[in-house]
Amino acid sequence: MTRKLCSARRSAIALIAVIALASVTLVAIPPSIASATPFPLNVTVTPSTAWIDTGLSVTSGTFYALSASGTVSGMTGAPGTPAGTPWTSCGAATSTSLYPGLACGSLIAKIGAGVPFTVGSSFIFEGQPGELYLGINETSLAGLTGSWPATITPGAPVDPVLA
């Protein structure tokens, strides 16, 4: 093949790849979500209040990926990371978890007035209609310091084994 033909072929393949990627992105993130909130959405979770309003109205049927890092110091029986300590290791001993059964001292979330769930360092969940709130699973936030920077992204891939 000539150089021009090879170059044209590479350009065509690259264009097809870009179009395919754009199509997947449009399918993964519904237009109502994509236009309403800039993503990824970055939120800092601090022990200043029980629930941090992310400002995100999640949409039913859309999957979201949430990840967090950082350290919150001063918790009893928990390492201070978003993952916290499994309930089976700390729950009965310290009983400092606001929501029994969820990892102690962990990053938790709720949608609207719904039931809180553990997020930890990373979590993928299917949205239900309502505002997304993030918090720390600890009964008293007094004396806690630090923060957990969190990132929320819609259109998270779903493991076909779990679907």
Beta pairing class for 145-154 and 41-45 = antiparallel
Answer for the pair 154, 82: CB distance below 8 angstroms, yes or no: no
How far apart are the C-alpha atoms of 67 and 13, rounded to whole Å? Answer: 34
- Sequence spans of domains, the chain: 1-36, 37-154
Q: Angle 34-35-37 (CA atoms, 0-180°, nearest 5)? A: 75
Which CATH number does 37-154 carry? 2.60.120.430
Question: 16 CB contacts (<8 Å, ≥6 apart)?
Answer: none
- List the pLDDT tens digit at each of the 163 positions of the chain: 555 544 555 554 444 444 444 433 334 444 444 445 688 999 999 999 999 999 999 999 899 999 999 999 988 767 799 998 887 666 555 556 778 888 888 999 999 999 999 999 999 999 999 999 999 998 889 999 999 999 999 986 655 554 4
